[in-house]
A and B are shown apart, each in its own frame.
Chain A
Amino acid sequence: MNRRALRKAKNAAFLFLSLVATMTGLACLAAILWTLLSHGIAGMSWHLFAEMTPPPGSKGGLLNALYGSGMMTLLGILIGSPIGVLAGTYLAEYGRNSRLSTVIRFINDVLLSAPSIIIGLFVYEIVVVRMGHFSAIAGALALAILAIPVTLRTTEDMLNLVPVGMKDSSAALGAYPWRTTLSVLYPAARSGIVTGLLLAIARISGETAPLLFTALNNQFWSTQLNAPMANLPVVIFQFALSPYKDWQDLAWAGALIITVTILILSISARVILALLQAERGSGR
């Protein structure tokens, strides 16, 4: 009987510890969000969206950084996602079981977790050194390389979920695979592929390390793609570590904006996926 009590006590202890671990994880998320809200909300005003990043000791906004981040993220997605989607199509349709596809899947999963600073160094070597200066286009390229693995993986997974019957019906009508892919598979997997795009945007819009030595930063308004461009993450990095209160406040405001944007993107991606699964579960 004693032994049984011991086993039960051990069980209770470990289950309690697992509860503690979960609470700790959730508490970390809550603490981070709380910090961002309490520090960032004070800096929220229309100035943020109307004025440029200021010199030390004066007030200003984040307009040039917001524009730069938006621009480079957009370009990164425009360059990276078609490559990811096409490559995912190859893996799911043409080379499903080939050895090449196995290797590409493996390498893609490695790239998915590869340190982003390495991608920054790579783009520095092949673009910045050649051009001779930092530029927005180099930053966008670095972000594009980070977007490829995410879109590739989701596209392949989503195309694999399309019922084989649909593909076969299209083939039976005499359609070539390209026609089937464009007219049947992509529409059927549309919300899944959009989810991949949202996840990719969420992934790259907060990246700092790959922009440090590609896009650098710019204190002024610039829309030129072959010149350094301001961007939110690098501005946050610079301003947060500065001794000036105005800069630090702007850093917190920027951090709040970036986190809220990314959390909204991630949550919508998950909502779309949940809806998709519910649809698939009921409407068979």
Chain B
Amino acid sequence: MAIIDPRHAAKQLIYERIFRALTLGAAVLVLLILGGVAISLARGAWPAISHFGFSFVTREIWNPVTDEYGALAPIYGTVVTSLIAMLLAVPAGFGIALFLTELCPPLLKRPIGVAVELLAAVPSIIFGIWGLFVLAPVLQRHTQPWLIAHLGHVPFIGNLFKGPPFGIGVLTAGVVLAIMVLPFIAATMRDVFDTVPPMLKESGYGLGATTWEVMWNVVVPHSRVGIVGGMMLGLGRALGETMAVTFVIGNAHRISSSLLAPGTTISSAIANEFTEAVGDLYTSSLIALGLLLFLITFTVIAAAQAMLRRLERGGFAV
């Protein structure tokens, strides 16, 4: 018969309180980090915001010599490169998810799934040098001349494909971003498709539907919210991606009607200029860019998470 030593019990209770407080503190720290990011960026950006006011986001000028800064060109570059990335990566990611859930022989399912996830693990700087030294020359020699020759004279969209094929530029950045976010979109969509009850799919097949018809009329409507959530998650990644874009976008602070021209994005402007920025207003303007990026990506990622949250929590941090 064990006898409970009151001193031992009291000590246990103290340890319990300490451990509980430690875990709670660590959990709350996560909230504090996000709050700290918002507050410190807002503080750092304040000189620029108070000096330029709202015109900061509407002006294209970016001139360290006259100390005048506007965020329109980086915002434009960020939005356009991300849109190109989504246009390419969403259909491709959908295709990969379709292949993995419906078409792939079971034996290959795992290796191909892992390969796609490994593409997500490759650091962004690697995409950057690969994009600059391998992809950009290929686009410059083959894809861009073709686009200029065939689409350059089409009314309306022709302007997007005018000018010399630089190789680096907005289009190339969009293509590199597409490859980078592809695994995230594909993996999320695959996980979402896997949550569709087999019964529903079997019913479709039982009615004589083809694989594609089951996919388009049963699986897609059922996993609508998850698909949009996966797309938004990919978009959030694309908007904030830094190093890969910095290598291939050409870093020119201007808005050009052609997608083949060099441009800049919020994140690549910060990465390129921050350590070299002299003067408080210059630094503060770059931090203001960071604050903008934070607000944009936070909104997109939070919306994505809210949508994916409706589905079962499962799988791993991709």
Q: Does B69 contact A (CB under 8 A)?
A: no
Whether A209 lies near B271 (C-beta < 8 A) is yes
Please provide the chain A residues from 1 to 40 with a CB less than 8 Å away from any CB of chain B in the complex: 7-8, 10-11, 14-15, 17-22, 24-26, 28-29, 31-32, 35-36, 39
Q: Which residue of A lies closest to B234 (CB)?
A: A113
Given A117-B290, A122-B40: A91 and B27 interface contact (C-beta under 8 Å): yes
Residues of B close to A177: CB separation below 8 A: 16, 19-20
Residues of A close to B201: CB separation below 8 A: none
Residues of A close to B104: CB separation below 8 A: 22
Q: Does A87 contact B (CB under 8 A)?
A: yes
Q: Which residue of B lies closest to A210 (CB)?
A: B242
At the interface, is chain A mostly helix, strand, loop or mixed? Answer: helix
Binds A, one of B56-64, B112-120, B139-147: B112-120
Residues of B close to A117: CB separation below 8 A: 240, 242, 267, 270-271, 290, 293
Q: Does A64 contact B (CB under 8 A)?
A: no
Residues of B close to A46: CB separation below 8 A: none
Task: Point out the residue from B100, B124, B125, B212 that lies within 8 Å of A14, measured CB to CB.
Answer: B212
At the interface, is chain B mostly helix, strand, loop or mixed? Answer: helix
Whether A154 lies near B275 (C-beta < 8 A) is no
Whether B16 lies near A107 (C-beta < 8 A) is no
Given A22-B112, A177-B16: A115 and B267 interface contact (C-beta under 8 Å): yes
B4, B240, B304: most-surrounded residue (chain A CB, <10 A)? B240
Q: How many Å from the CB of A176 to the closest CB on chain B?
A: 4
Residues of B close to A150: CB separation below 8 A: 317
Whether B287 lies near A125 (C-beta < 8 A) is yes
Q: How many Å from the CB of A242 to the closest CB on chain B?
A: 12
Binds B, one of A47-55, A70-78, A163-171, A260-268: A260-268
Whether A87 lies near B26 (C-beta < 8 A) is yes
Whether B183 lies near A90 (C-beta < 8 A) is no
Please provide the chain A residues from 62 to 121 with a CB less than 8 Å away from any CB of chain B in the complex: 82-87, 89-91, 93-95, 100-101, 103-104, 106-119, 121
Q: Does B134 contact A (CB under 8 A)?
A: yes
Q: Does A193 contact B (CB under 8 A)?
A: no
Q: Does B231 contact A (CB under 8 A)?
A: no
Task: Point out the residue from A39, A115, A125, A251 that lies within 8 Å of B40, measured CB to CB.
Answer: A125
Q: Does B52 contact A (CB under 8 A)?
A: no
Q: How many Å from the CB of A99 to the closest CB on chain B?
A: 12
B280-318 near A? 1/0 per residue, CB < 8 Å: 000000010010011001100110111001000000110
How many pairs of A and B residues are in contact by the CB < 8 Å rule?
A: 281
Q: Does B53 contact A (CB under 8 A)?
A: no
Whether B99 lies near A179 (C-beta < 8 A) is no
Q: Does B87 contact A (CB under 8 A)?
A: no
Q: How many Å from the CB of A73 to the closest CB on chain B?
A: 12
Given A125-B41, A177-B16, A240-B132: A15 and B103 interface contact (C-beta under 8 Å): yes
Q: Which residue of B lies closest to A31 (CB)?
A: B134
B260-280 near A? 1/0 per residue, CB < 8 Å: 000000010011001100000
Residues of A close to B128: CB separation below 8 A: 237, 240
Given A115-B240, A208-B243, A209-B242: A106 and B305 interface contact (C-beta under 8 Å): yes
Whether A213 lies near B274 (C-beta < 8 A) is yes
Whether B130 lies near A110 (C-beta < 8 A) is no
CA distance A24 to B99 in the complex (A): 12
B21-33 near A? 1/0 per residue, CB < 8 Å: 0111111111101
Q: Which residue of B lies closest to A205 (CB)?
A: B123
Interface size class of B (residues with CB under 8 A): 35 or more
Residues of B close to A244: CB separation below 8 A: none
Whether B24 lies near A94 (C-beta < 8 A) is yes
The tally of residues in A whose CB lies under 8 Å from a CB in B reads 98
CA distance A236 to B133 in the complex (A): 13
Binds A, one of B88-96, B149-157, B159-167: B88-96
In the complex, given contacts A26-B116, A118-B41, A266-B117, what are 20 additional A-B residue pairs having Cβ atoms less than 8 angstroms apart? A11-B213, A18-B96, A18-B99, A21-B96, A22-B95, A29-B116, A31-B134, A32-B122, A35-B134, A36-B130, A87-B27, A104-B31, A110-B301, A121-B41, A125-B40, A205-B123, A206-B125, A213-B274, A237-B246, A262-B122
Ranked 9 nearest A-B pairs via Cβ = A115-B240, A206-B123, A21-B95, A178-B19, A86-B26, A90-B23, A11-B210, A87-B26, A18-B95
Binding site for A on B (CB under 8 A): 4, 12-13, 15-16, 18-20, 22-31, 33-34, 36-37, 40-41, 43-44, 91-96, 98-100, 102-104, 112, 114-119, 121-130, 132-134, 179, 182-183, 186, 210-213, 215, 233, 236-237, 239-243, 246-247, 267, 270-271, 274-275, 287, 290, 293-294, 297-298, 301-302, 304-306, 309, 316-317
- List 10 interface pairs A-B (beta carbons < 8 Å), by A numbering: A21-B91, A25-B183, A94-B23, A107-B30, A115-B240, A174-B4, A208-B124, A208-B242, A236-B125, A273-B316
